[in-house]
Amino acid sequence: MARKQFTINKEPHVAEVGDVELHFVPEVMGDEFLDGYAALIEQQRELGAGSGDLSQIDAGRLRGIVTELRSFLGKLMTQETRERFFRYVVQQRGKKPVVFTSGDEAEAHAAGLTGSVSIKDESMQLPTRVLMELLEWVAEIYGGGRPPTSSNGSVPPSPPRGIPGTGTSRSRGSTRGSGR
């Protein structure tokens, strides 16, 4: 009888960004991760960001990519980290501020209030390069160590050049027939 033991991660993955630790959920269901990752990559492709040359992209469109990237990463974060990463504060004059992790939720809440109301985005700001590095990192940890868009099998390594021989060389030494 064949037997194989599998482990399930129970401790959050931790990304250290400066003085801050960002905690990501220990395990993510494959489809959940792949669907989000595929949607993010497709949006980047549609906006022309796949080439890596961001100078040709309209600032508004680039902001949309960054927003989508932050949203994708946020879905993989633990609740505590998500609450630090996304922080929208709705302040109504004379009332205690109310905090949301979604700008849409904050706007919906503010729309139902009367009087002087403001929404302040106090979300964690990170350079785009750090967000991209986080994306690569989560793709590695949740994608099983290979890009999640690759097929199940990896491309096999190229065979060595030449055909190894077992005969002796003309010098009658004991070297192999193909190279040294």
- 122-134 pLDDT per residue, tens: 999 999 899 989 9
> What is the pLDDT confidence band of residue 172, given thresholds at 50, 70 and 90?
low
Query: Per residue in 10-41, pLDDT tens?
Result: 999 999 999 999 999 998 876 778 888 888 88
**Which helix (DSSP H) or strand (DSSP E) does residue 42 occupy?**
helix 30-46
Q: Quote the pTM value.
A: 0.67
Alpha-carbon distance of 125 to 87, in angstroms, equals 11
Say whether pLDDT at 47 is over 80: no
Predicted confidence band of residue 102 (pLDDT cuts 50, 70, 90):
very high
Q: How many residues does the chain have?
A: 180
Check residue 34 and give its pLDDT: 82
Q: Write out the two tokens for 176.
A: 């192999």
Provide the token pair at 87.
């922080």
Q: Please state, in angstroms and rounded to a whole number, the distance separating the CA atoms of residues 45 and 22.
A: 27
How far the first Cα of the chain sits from its last, in Å, is 44
DSSP code at position 77: B
